[in-house]
């Protein structure tokens, strides 16, 4: 990162247990079969700028883009931002089967952990409008830094492509 980029951290405003208690009634009322937190709250690394990443399994005939409306009350019930993925039971079973099939072959992806850490440092400042002290990502990062990030991302795509084949 350039010298004028400041990484800001703050203590998490809540815990995963508290979020689960707030979400449970909404999920139950919507008929959710399962909810799985992932990301920083699930890892225990959430800070004051973290949102909740949540995958919900819910029987529905709605298109994926329309499913979030079934859980609109979650956005109001939770004191943090929410990245919501809603899967039907069949979709979730297929994704789970794919992950289980890939697990024995995850060694190539494990080798990319340092690259993942480096890319993670770029995630928040470039995703959120207030993630940088000032300016835009184009002003905060050099061409060389951007090219390095693209190279690291390409490594992930290549490793994932080899793993899935």
pLDDT, tens only, 128-155: 666 777 778 778 888 888 888 888 888 8
Q: Is the pLDDT of residue 165 over 70?
A: no
Confidence of residue 24 (pLDDT cuts 50, 70, 90): very high
The upper half-sphere exposure of residue 129, i.e. CA atoms within 13 Å in the direction of its Cβ, equals 0
Domain ranges of the chain: 16-101, 106-164
Q: How many angstroms separate the CA atoms of 137 and 125, rounded? A: 7
Locate tokens 């939770």: which residue? 78
Q: What's the rounded mean pLDDT across residues 84-108?
A: 78
> What element of type H or E holds 120?
helix 113-127
pTM for the whole thing?
Answer: 0.61
What number does CATH give the domain 16-101? Answer: 3.30.460.10
Backbone φ, ψ for residue 9 (5° rounding):
-125, 150
Q: What's the rounded mean pLDDT across residues 4-30?
A: 85
Q: Is the pLDDT of residue 69 over 50?
A: yes
Beta strand pairing status for 52-57 and 82-87? parallel
Residues present in the chain in total: 165
Q: Which of 26, 130, 17 is nearest to 76 (CA)?
A: 26
Mean pLDDT of all residues belonging to the chain: 82
Confidence of residue 1 (pLDDT cuts 50, 70, 90): very low
Q: Is the pLDDT of residue 8 over 70?
A: no
Provide the percentage of residues in the chain whose pLDDT is more than 70. Answer: 83
Tokens read off for 83: 């990245």
């Amino acid at each position: 990162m350039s010298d004028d980029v400041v990484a800001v951290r703050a203590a998490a405003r809540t815990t995963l247990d508290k979020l689960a208690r707030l979400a449970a009634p909404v999920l139950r009322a919507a008929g959710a079969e399962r909810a799985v937190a992932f990301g920083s709250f699930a890892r225990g690394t959430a800070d004051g700028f973290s949102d909740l990443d949540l995958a919900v399994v819910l029987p529905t005939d709605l298109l994926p883009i329309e499913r979030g409306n079934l859980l609109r009350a979650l956005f109001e019930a939770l004191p943090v931002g929410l990245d919501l993925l809603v899967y039907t039971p069949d979709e979730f079973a297929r994704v789970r089967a794919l992950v289980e099939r890939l697990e024995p072959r995850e060694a190539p992806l494990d080798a990319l952990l340092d690259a993942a850490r480096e890319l993670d440092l770029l995630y928040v400042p470039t995703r959120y409008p207030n993630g940088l002290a000032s300016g835009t990502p184009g002003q905060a990062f050099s061409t060389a830094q951007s090219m390095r990030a693209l190279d690291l991302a390409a490594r992930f795509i290549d490793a994932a492509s080899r793993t899935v084949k």
